[in-house]
């Protein structure tokens, strides 16, 4: 039976006692901010004051981005079709994929892998950028559809600077931004995904957790959108008749066998 | 086309600017805790100091409850079968249902509906309890499988008392607890779902948002479990051979037509 | 440990042998159509020739309804955001709710509950319709947004008639349609959800399985849409800039504490 | 607005008319089996008699595999926690991942890519197997945890042989099986995922649709399991207390800041 036993190092439950990573939930409820609790449960240890501040800023930064992202569309659809709140939020989380929130994971992977090289950030950035240009691949975490300069990135890096927090991965991300500008002859700024990737890498988080930070933050926005849809709109919203077209085969009949 | 237009009062996006409920995301990143940002996006307004503290305590209280809740089981299964992090967390959120986290919603509904009566909390509680006993229905938010007295409830109400926060719905919940004890001759304490239901009702949140607070908090735990499963366990975990039995029809053959 | 043991009467697995409801999967693969296998796994017994035909017609009837239903929108969104096929189909199934496919369940419930009365179908229909009109409730399964007369309903009932299959619940559904027309002075025809509800009730299926028939059928359509989106469209489809508007609070600042 | 227009070649909807890939749904309901309708919607064309038979056999073969696969566990959990049928089935579909049903996709990819080579199947198989052995990678679709020889594979290939259906990809799969046996000195038989991969490749389906066939079939089993859980078990099933252990940090206190 041992192989079927579930092991966990996250939370221990006993009658009248709940301990997360060793700390009593009651003590946590009195002393920790929610972002500190999130840091603790993901990392296994309490954050430093700087890490706590960075974590807070990350979670606030990604809480919502309006009604257009695909995750919001899914959430609102699921409510609209007559489903419970949790199902709607689940559909939104399900929609957070490689091209929506997923750049955090992919950018953090690159920063962590290249960041292991013994060279200076600017040297690594040069090789990294020329490698990606040579392979004709985009570097995830740089450039944004809408915002030429993402205000969240600027603020995140400013907070990092004020706290004297920036370490290897933030430095590398900024060096890549500079190098991209030099190589391409135009600005391809770090976007908020890239900035978060750099910050969590400097906090020592595994890149495979990348999407997690975005999910934890954005879930609050998804709940707000689900509730707005539920209370402001009529059920069974559909695409209007003019918004689609059929371009498949014309009328035909099933031949006799 | 107007009917197909998506309206939202949550977040406005312009080039280089993101405003949540009117506030700049940049300013929020500098000045708000994550629980304050969550309060803002759900309620539309900034919390008072007391509301901010209560929100923080709620979100910390529900962050995880070990490996046994069904939401964790679903999350770990989905990772285990070879899926991305967001799919695993989505499966966990999907599992948060009427009997798992859902008591917040149902308890808040009762507190808000009965709380409208003009009488004192103790009078309402008497009628409410006798009504439920008469209809042989359980009152959601009272009693717990494991914890005789839920440490999270005690702490939540203690923080409320220290802040002088408790209003009508907390008072009603506590009156119901007393009345239940009197009527049943044994303690059926408010559990953490009931306590959260009372607190969010006193903050003025609609009961239909009830599950939302649990989801926003627990998602952090689900991310931690998904990551633990991903990094500590082999893929394709299954129930062991001894853990199930077949009790359907015996062997039979499809008859000739 | 017994309470943790999973019991099932559906499928027995042994080394080299798989038996569904007692029948060998190998024999099923040689002798059953897929709709017969579906009937078997849901009902526990093989269908009669008439039931097999009705099941086939039901499953074919609901396979797709174009690009506008909310389930398709969710499926395409999830692919579009960079997720695997199963996640996209899951999002579609998740979207099938009370007002999208859910009428089968709710209509079957009504037909099965009222159908137990000892009276003739026309008598029951009269009472049923006047009860719903009195309570100002819509009867699920009647009326359609687009199709005045749903071609699928007509075909389903025609097949039922040709097979001499119609029993109590189909008769009741048709009596309700007539009675609705008489009482309202205009046609409110049985739609495909209502027709399926009547047919599965005559097959002896529990109304709680209602959505299941729609899901099993429509999943094929969802796979087709997911594949079409994946192969024909660019990733990260979004609502266009003109398709939404923000109507929340105007610009404001976070007050000093 | 054009870029926001949804195009589809699958189904055309007009008032009173539904056409799938050009064929009237009414005609389909009269003349096609469900597996033929599935073939049509995925492929765009009607199947030949042989393809229809193979499709039927595939869909029947994967309808269920007992209570232990992770998808069933997720489905039952979601019902157990108090959620609707569609949410439970969605959770099951969500669980079908790279290591659960996903081998169809990965095996079909390999067969289709290597199958393009101009050489004979046996020659290609030799190179393919030595390539995978050299890279120390497992070939997906070969070997099974439980069944030494999967009865579903044998039946599927026997039906293919009886129909004289087997083409390039089935031949290649069988040549790989032989070559594996020769190279490894023990049998590593084609499993049902591998067999389905070969058959759908011979039908001309893109490997990216691979998981789709498994999903369409297994959804029927998931509905059956959801219904069994709903009607036979008490809500909120949990892992028993003996089935897990905590192995994280011991008790500790949050240090003063």
Dist CA B36 CA B52 (whole Å): 6
The partner residues of C246 in beta bridges, in order of sequence, read: B8
Range C55-73 average pLDDT: 94
Contacts of C51 (CB under 8 A, 6+ apart): C39, C165, C203
Dist CA B19 CA C251 (whole Å): 8
What beta strand segments (E) does chain B contain? 6-8, 11-14, 17-20, 23-24, 244-246
Distance from CA of D25 to the nearest CA of A (A): 11
Widest pairwise Cα distance in chain A: 78
Query: Containing H/E element for D7?
Result: strand D6-8
- Please report the ipTM that was assigned to this predicted complex: 0.94
Contacts of D187 (CB under 8 A, 6+ apart): D148, D181
Structure tokens that stand for C223 in this block: 């796979």
Range C137-153 average pLDDT: 83
Distance from CA of C8 to the nearest CA of B (A): 5
Dist CA D167 CA D108 (whole Å): 14
Closest residue to D60, CB basis, from C10, C28, C66: C28
What is residue D181's predicted lDDT score, i.e. its pLDDT? Answer: 92
Distance from CA of A45 to the nearest CA of C (A): 31
Contact D63 C57 (CB under 8 A): no
pLDDT (tens digit per residue) in B57-100: 999 999 999 988 889 999 999 999 999 999 999 999 999 988 88
Q: Which residues of C touch A237 (CB under 8 A)?
A: 70
Range B123-149 average pLDDT: 88
Contacts of A124 (CB under 8 A, 6+ apart): A114, A115, A117, A172, A175
Chain C interface mutation, best of A68, A74, A98, A232, highest count of C Cβ atoms under 10 Å: A74
Widest pairwise Cα distance in chain D: 78
Chain B residue with Cα closest to A160:
B30
pLDDT (tens digit per residue) in A149-186: 789 999 999 999 999 998 999 999 999 999 999 998 88
pTM: 0.94
Query: Containing H/E element for C11?
Result: strand C11-14
Chain D residue with Cα closest to A7:
D245
Distance from CA of B13 to the nearest CA of D (A): 19
Given a contact cutoff of 8 angstroms between Cβ atoms, the answer to whether C222 and C92 are in contact is: yes
Q: Which residues of D touch B71 (CB under 8 A)?
A: 81
Q: By percentage, how much of chain D surpasses pLDDT 90?
A: 75
Range B7-36 average pLDDT: 94
Contact C250 B28 (CB under 8 A): no
Q: Chains that contact B by 3+ CB pairs under 8 Å? A: A, C, D
Chain A interface mutation, best of B150, B159, B224, B229, highest count of A Cβ atoms under 10 Å: B224
Given a contact cutoff of 8 angstroms between Cβ atoms, the answer to whether D136 and D41 are in contact is: no
Given a contact cutoff of 8 angstroms between Cβ atoms, the answer to whether D73 and B236 are in contact is: no
Contact B66 D102 (CB under 8 A): no
Please, what is the Cα angle at D115 between D109 and D117, to 5 degrees?
Answer: 130
Across chain C, mean pLDDT equals 91
CB count in 10 Å sphere of residue C155 = 22
Region for residue D228 given its phi and psi (left: phi exceeds 0; alpha: psi -120 to 50; beta: otherwise):
alpha
Chain A interface mutation, best of D87, D92, D93, D95, highest count of A Cβ atoms under 10 Å: D87
Domain span(s) for CATH 1.10.230.10 in chain A: 63-240
Q: Which residues of D touch C34 (CB under 8 A)?
A: 33-35, 38, 56, 59-60, 63, 217
Closest residue to C102, CB basis, from A82, A97, A102: A82
Dist CA A193 CA A207 (whole Å): 12
Contact C97 D86 (CB under 8 A): yes
Q: What is the DSSP string of chain A?
A: -GGGPEEESSEEEETTEEEETTEEHHHHHHH--HHHHHHHHHHSSPPPHHHHHHHHHHHHHTS---S-SHHHHHHHHHHHTT--HHHHHHHHHHH--TTTTTHHHHHHHHHHHHHTSSS-HHHHHHHHHHHHHHTT-PPTTB--SS-SS-HHHHHHHHHHHHTT---HHHHHHHHHHHHHHHHHSS---B-HHHHHHHHHHHTT--GGGHHHHHHHHHHHHHHHHHHHHHHHS-SS----GGGEEE-S---B-PPP-
Given a contact cutoff of 8 angstroms between Cβ atoms, the answer to whether C208 and C105 are in contact is: yes
Q: What is the DSSP string of D42-65?
A: HHSSPPPHHHHHHHHHHHHHTS--
pLDDT (tens digit per residue) in A30-79: 999 999 999 999 999 999 999 999 999 999 999 999 988 889 999 999 99
Chain D residue with Cα closest to C54:
D29
Contact A23 D86 (CB under 8 A): no
3-state DSSP assignment of residue B109? helix
Closest residue to A81, CB basis, from C68, C96, C236: C96
Count of pairs with CB atoms under 8 A, one residue in B, one in C: 113
Q: If chain D, 257 residues long, is cut into consecutive pieces of 10 residues, what is the mean pLDDT of each piece?
A: 70 90 96 98 96 98 92 93 95 92 94 96 96 93 76 94 94 96 90 96 97 98 97 72 74 84
What is residue C160's predicted lDDT score, i.e. its pLDDT? Answer: 95
Contacts of B166 (CB under 8 A, 6+ apart): B157, B160, B202
Contact A8 B228 (CB under 8 A): yes
- Nearest-Å Rg of the Cα atoms of chain D is 22
Contact A8 D244 (CB under 8 A): yes
Q: Which residues of B touch A13 (CB under 8 A)?
A: 65-66, 68, 146
pLDDT (tens digit per residue) in C71-118: 999 999 999 999 999 999 999 999 998 888 889 999 999 999 999 999
Given a contact cutoff of 8 angstroms between Cβ atoms, the answer to whether A92 and A72 are in contact is: yes
Closest residue to A5, CB basis, from D10, D28, D244: D244
CATH of B63-240, one of 3.30.70.360, 3.40.50.2300, 1.10.10.10, 1.10.230.10: 1.10.230.10
Range B198-222 average pLDDT: 97
Distance from CA of D122 to the nearest CA of A (A): 35
Contacts of B168 (CB under 8 A, 6+ apart): B115, B121, B201, B202
Dist CA A85 CA D107 (whole Å): 38
Dist CA B92 CA B77 (whole Å): 10
The partner residues of A24 in beta bridges, in order of sequence, read: A19
At A251, is the pLDDT very low, low, confident or very high (cuts 50, 70, 90)?
confident
């Amino acid at each position: 039976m041992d192989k079927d036993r579930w092991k966990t190092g996250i939370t221990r439950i006993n009658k009248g006692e709940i301990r997360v990573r060793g700390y009593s939930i009651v003590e946590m409820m009195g002393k920790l901010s929610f972002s500190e609790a999130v840091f603790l449960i993901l990392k296994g240890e309490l954050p430093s004051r700087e890490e706590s501040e960075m974590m807070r800023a990350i979670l606030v930064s990604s809480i919502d981005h309006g009604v257009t992202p695909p995750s919001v569309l899914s959430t609102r659809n699921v409510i609209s079709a007559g489903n419970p709140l949790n199902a709607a939020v689940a559909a939104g989380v399900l929609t957070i994929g490689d091209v929506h929130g997923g750049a955090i994971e992919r950018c953090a992977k690159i920063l962590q892998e290249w960041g292991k090289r013994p060279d200076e950030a600017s040297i690594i950035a040069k090789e990294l950028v020329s490698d990606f240009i040579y392979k004709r691949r985009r570097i995830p975490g740089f450039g944004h559809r809408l915002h030429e300069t993402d205000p969240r990135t600027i603020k995140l890096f400013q907070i990092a600077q004020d706290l004297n927090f920036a370490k290897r991965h933030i430095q590398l991300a900024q060096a890549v931004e500079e190098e991209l500008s030099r190589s391409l002859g135009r600005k391809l700024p770090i976007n908020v995904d890239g900035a978060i990737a750099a910050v969590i890498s400097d906090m020592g988080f595994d890149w495979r957790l990348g999407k997690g930070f975005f999910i934890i933050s954005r879930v609050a926005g998804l709940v707000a959108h689900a509730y707005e849809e539920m209370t402001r709109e009529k059920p069974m919203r559909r695409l209007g008749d003019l918004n689609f077209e059929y371009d498949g085969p014309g009328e035909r009949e099933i031949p006799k066998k």
